[in-house]
Structure 1
Amino acid sequence: MVHAAGVMALRPTRELDLAEPDRQLRINVRGTFVMAREAARRIRLGGAIVAFSTSVTRLHLPTYGAYAATKGAVEALVPILAKELGNRDVTVNAVAPGPTATELFFDGKSQQVIDRIAGLSPMNRLGTPQDIAEVVAFLAGPGRWINGQIVFANGGAA
């Protein structure tokens, strides 16, 4: 089971309309809890659950406070759920992508900002959806001994 739904609104903390973090909490955190509960009830023995966090929890970029806080909650849940489901041989992990060339990432950013963020990686590029999909596939398949972890897939940006 892979849970990748999420929203992101960027604002300096002092400028936040509380409706923005409320929406992010509802989708990013509550959505992950709903996914976790339903997956825990239904997943087959030996299954895998993969949630999504973000490398922003380690990059500490201005304007990402509300988003990073919601993903920090996801990171707190993952190892707990892994312990709760371990006796069923179910692995639970999260992938924490770095800057990735998606519509969510590009929304509201100038080319200058995009280039600056791409430069955070020693590879001097944004990740691609394929880069992230490969990590998810590994965790959902042959990566059976990885459990309760947050895997940072960010090209070395953090």
Structure 2
Amino acid sequence: MLMPRRLDMDFTRTPRPMPWLGVALLLLALLAAADAGTRWLEADEARRTLAVQAERLDMRQRQQVRQSQSAAQTRPDPHVLAAAQTQQLSLLPLLDAVERQWRPEVAVLRLDAALEGQTLLLSVDGKRLHDALGFVERLERDPRIARMAVTGYLPRLGLPAAERPVTANLEGRWRP
């Protein structure tokens, strides 16, 4: 026959105090370990950044040495210099014409002019489509511009149609 087991339950036992000192020391050790880990990660990141900067500086110095060597080896051809000066002088009247027709409502973003074929490519931003078209009309009236045409435009959305800024691409020919 089975004997009932006696339960060891002591209802008069005195409570023990919580070991606060041990818990506090454990938390302090965890904080110190976290701080040390963070400092190590920061130092590692600083080392990597310094290595990247040193590599960039090294590469820049090598590139400057190569450029100075190539500049010392190649002397500009006088024919090339004369052609560049001629090109600059022949484009000055065209640039003057574009500058005279410019108004603050229009921003010239790109201007490509070619001597061969006397082609002119412009990219402009206008406060409104009307401003960009007015710039085209003013350019066409200039005697140095043979013809101008709008090859495309892109209105910016989000504003009423009358107030939409427009980016327009223009193409034309000019007279030398």
TM-score, structure 1 length as denominator?
0.24
Greater per-residue helix proportion:
2
Greater per-residue strand proportion:
2
Instruction: Say which structure, 1 or 2, has more relative contact order (CA 8 Å, 6+ apart).
Output: 1
Larger Rg: 2
TM-score, structure 2 length as denominator?
0.22
